[in-house]
Amino acid sequence: MRPPQPLKPRRAAIASLIGHAVTLAVLALVSMRTPTPSGESPLIFAELVTAREPAVAPAPASSGVAADDTSVEPTPAAPAAPEPLADVEPEIARLPESAPPAPPVEREPAVEPSDAPPLENVVEAPDELPPAPVVAEERSAPATAEPDAVAPTRAFASHDERAVLRKLSSWTGRFDAEEPDEPLTWREDGQEYTAVFKQLPAGDAMGMAALAVELSTERDGERLVTELRMNRLAFSNFGQFVDRWDPDVSLHDDVIDGRFHSNTELIIGRTGRTAPEFRGKVTIAGGSYTTGSGPGFISRRKLFPAGIETRTRRIELPNRGAALEAIAGPENSQRFERDAAITFHADGIVSWRDLETSAEEASRALGAEPFYLLAFENVDLEIRGTVNGKVLVYTPESIVVVDDVRYAVDPRTPHADDYLGLVAERTVEIAEPDVTGPGDLEVFASIYARQRFVVRSFNSRRSGTLVIHGSLTAGTLTASEPRYATKIEFDKRLTTMRAPSFPLSDRYELDSTNGEWRVVGAAN
């Protein structure tokens, strides 16, 4: 171990034998008080100088006293007898400034913290001398004295994972922001768990709300806590959502991408090789599903390749769409007092004309922020065009799609940021064939028809395919065939985003967990 550097004398040495005698006495005192390694005899080393040429004597390596590299070989002199301790200390205090300082006592730091010499065994230097180095004492601090110690953790046991997944993989219910919610407590495999929920509102009009969950339990005398996050689902998280399936309607020539949910029993029809195709998981709250007559046996696994779960919890439709008055001001909204035909333009302009008067067409720029087109009571809106922006169209009555509705940028391309929500408290409808024209009809939007989604004149001859690229939520549905086969292509951006202020459901689903417990104290 490298010793500390020797202290340098402040002034020239005095050639007085009395001064050296006092110095010898100090060294003797230090040597007697400083502990020595086991098996070694204490040695006393004095600085010897002649009256003609004072010099500092080098200390042997085994003494632990630093040697001055510039010292000259001294001429031996007879040392004076040391004085008693009571007489020495006052003499030290009375030494003149020219007296040479006592060589520093150096102790070799121990490897183990327990070997470090106690502080009370170290003799402090006189006031006139520099203090002895204390590096060794700092290095020998106990390794256990660590500030800001990290709380211990425990890994999830298998029964913990089961308890979380069974109880909190999804949660259905409403939370009152004004009232604290009661903790949820349950037992699983003999273990009791408690969950405390805290609402995390959406960061903006297009974000998702969430729940922060503090989950706790007790085991082996310890109280354990972990944090979970549950995301609140918007209705646009489902490719298709139906509150009540019409018993006179069956899924037949339909392709549904994304999740499918029905709150009532589902009816599946098939003829020949034609059958519905589910490309996402299917959940049914009120019972299961029935299949109409058809040749042969239809495989459940083939029909629901992503899985099906029956008798799940209901997901209720809200009584009315989200209140928009607080977020839709004059600068980011347009209101309609009478029925209007709305056209979106690829350059980011929206125009409209009053269907009840001969007033000229008006227009506004949508801008980069969410924009709201809001109708008053008893006002219907017609929709068509190419959307370049983030828009919500809302009416307490009906929205009618009269032609293709597309995005300026294909949502399947990177950085696409066009969103359209069509929200009607009554119906969203597809206009008659003579209005929409022949062939396929494309609607790029998240659709919410609280009462019914309607295809007018669905019994007319085959026209093509109704393609909804986004999502479809409805209280119930009319048939679309034979006029249209239907294809819902889920907009995958809707898993993390939504059209501005699109309605949120009362369903929360587990998003993340760190998979370990924190020990926060002893069990009660």
Largest CA distance in the chain: 131
pLDDT for residue 50: 36
Q: 124-135: buried (b, 16+ CB within 10 Å) or exposed (e) per residue? A: ebeeebeebbee
pLDDT for residue 321: 61
pLDDT for residue 427: 98
The rounded mean pLDDT for the chain is 77
Distance CA 279, CA 451 (A): 26
Which residues on neighbouring strands pair with residue 227, listed in sequence order? 214
Per-residue pLDDT at 291 exceeds 70 = yes
Per-residue pLDDT at 384 exceeds 60 = yes
Nearest one of 462, 448, 461 to 420, comparing CA atoms: 448
- The DSSP bridge pattern shows strands 222-234 and 240-242 to be unpaired
Q: Which of 201-210, 233-242, 343-352, 482-491 has the lowest mean pLDDT?
A: 201-210
Distance CA 262, CA 257 (A): 15
DSSP 8-state code for residue 59: P
DSSP 8-state code for residue 115: G
For 226, 336, 413, the CA distances from 391, given in Å and listed in that order, are 39, 15, 19
Give per-residue pLDDT as tens, 443-498. 999 999 999 999 999 999 999 999 999 999 999 999 999 999 999 999 999 999 99
Rounded to the nearest angstrom, the gap between the alpha carbon of residue 349 and the centroid of all alpha carbons in its chain is 37
Q: How confident is the model at residue 189 (pLDDT cuts 50, 70, 90)?
A: confident
- Please give the angle made by the CA atoms of 167, 173 and 177, to the nearest 5 degrees: 120
> What number of residues does the chain have?
524
Distance CA 167, CA 179 (A): 23
pLDDT for residue 174: 75
Give per-residue pLDDT as tens, 321-364. 656 766 788 899 999 999 999 999 999 999 999 998 878 899 99
pLDDT for residue 180: 62
Per-residue pLDDT at 69 exceeds 70 = no
Which amino acid, one-letter code, is at 121?
N
Q: How confident is the model at residue 176 (pLDDT cuts 50, 70, 90)?
A: low
Distance CA 218, CA 455 (A): 57
